[in-house]
Amino acid sequence: MDTVLVTGGTGHLGREVVELLRPLHRVRVLSRSPVAEQADRSADGPEGEPVEWARGDLATGEGVAEAVDGVSAVVHAATFSPAARRGYLRPSDLRSSPPEVDVEGTRALLAACAGSGVDHFAYVSIVGVDRPRGPYLRLKAEAEGLVRDSGVPWSVLRATQFHWLLDRMLGRMTRLPVLPLPIRVPVQPADAADFAEQVARQVAAGPGGMCRDFGGPEVLPLGAIVDQWQRVRGHRTRVLPLPTPSALARVGHAMTCPDGRRGTTTWSRWLASNPPE
Ligand SMILES: NC(=O)c1ccc[n+]([C@@H]2O[C@H](COP(=O)([O-])OP(=O)(O)OC[C@H]3O[C@@H](n4cnc5c(N)ncnc54)[C@H](OP(=O)(O)O)[C@@H]3O)[C@@H](O)[C@H]2O)c1
C-alpha cells in the first residue's frame, strides 16, 4: 500500500478526504496538534488502516521533511485564513493576510517533495483566485504558481465557498441588529464532503494539471442564501438590501463556476443536516 500525506487533514475538507482515501491507501496527516485527534481517530475504522499522525507546522517548517518521507502523493489542504477562523472580516483582512502557511508552508512542502519519491502533489485552491481578489486569495494564487513551477507532478483543484464557512460567517453577522447586504451578489456554496470525492478521484487518477472548477449545485443571490439560513437557523435579523456595485458583482461572478463540476448537496439540505458549529 502506498502512503498519501494529507495536510489540513484535521480541517473541514481534509478530514473528509482522509476518510475517502483510507480504504485504498495508508494515510498520514500532518497536523500541529495530532494528539487530541489521535484519541478520536487512531482506532481502525470500518475500512482501512489507522491514520498515521505527523506532528508538524507549515508556518515554521517543523516536521515537514519527516511528514513527506516515504510518501507517494500529497493532498495539500492546509490553510490559514484569520477571517475564516473568526468568521468575519476586519478592515485589516482587506490589506493583508499572513503568508506563512499558504505560501511559505507550500514552498517548504514542495521543496521536501522535490527531493523524495512524491509523484503527485494535489493542491486545493479556490475558484477565481486568478481574477479580482483580496489578500488571502492572492496568497492562494501565489501558492498555485509555486506548485506549477515546482517540477513535482501536480494537480490544482479549485472549489467555490464551503457551506461551513458561510454558516459560520452568517452566525457572526446576524448578531448585528440590522444586516446591510448587497443581496444580488451571486454565491455558489459547495459541500466540502462533495468536493472531497473529487479530490479523492484525482488522487486515483494522478497528476491532472489545472482541474475543472468545482462548485455547489446552485448559484444563488446572497439575499436567498441569507433567507434560507435564517429560516433553518431560526434567526430574524432584518436585512437592509444594498445596491450591488459592479466591482462586487464581478468578484461574485469570478468566484462561481456555473459551467464547472457540480456537487449535489444544496445549501438548504446541508443546513438542515448540520447543526451550527
Ligand atoms: N473554506 C472554504 O470556503 C474553501 C473554499 C474553497 C477552497 N478551500 C480550500 O480548501 C482547503 C481546506 O479548507 P478548509 O475550509 O477545510 O480549512 P479548515 O477547516 O480551516 O482547516 C485548516 C487546516 O489547515 C491546517 N493548518 C493550519 N495552519 C497550519 C500550520 N501552521 N501547519 C500545518 N497545518 C496547518 C489545520 O490543521 P491543524 O490545526 O490540525 O494543524 C487544519 O486542518 C484550503 O486550501 C482552502 O483554501 C476552502
Q: Write the pLDDT tens digit of every residue in 101-113.
A: 999 999 999 999 9
Ligand 1 mutation target, pool 13, 107, 199, most atoms within 8 A of CB: 13
Domains in the chain: boundaries: 3-273
Per-position DSSP letters for 53-80, written without gaps between them: EEE-BTTTTBTHHHHHTT-SEEEE----
Which cell is 8 given? 489540513
Alpha carbon distance 254, 252 (integer Å): 5
**Which sign, positive or negative, has the C-alpha torsion 133, 138, 140, 141?**
positive
User: Binning pLDDT at 50, 70 and 90, where does residue 133 land?
Assistant: confident
pLDDT exceeds cutoff 50 at 64: yes
- CATH dotted code for 3-273: 3.40.50.720
Residue 131 is predicted with a pLDDT of 86
Q: Write the pLDDT tens digit of every residue in 156-174.
A: 999 999 999 999 999 999 9
pLDDT exceeds cutoff 50 at 46: no
* Pocket (CB within 6 angstroms of ligand 1): 7-8, 10-14, 30-33, 57-59, 77-80, 84, 101, 124, 126, 140, 159, 161-162, 165, 192
Residue 40 is predicted with a pLDDT of 52
Q: Write the pLDDT tens digit of every residue in 178-232.
A: 999 999 999 999 999 999 999 999 999 999 999 999 999 999 999 999 999 999 9
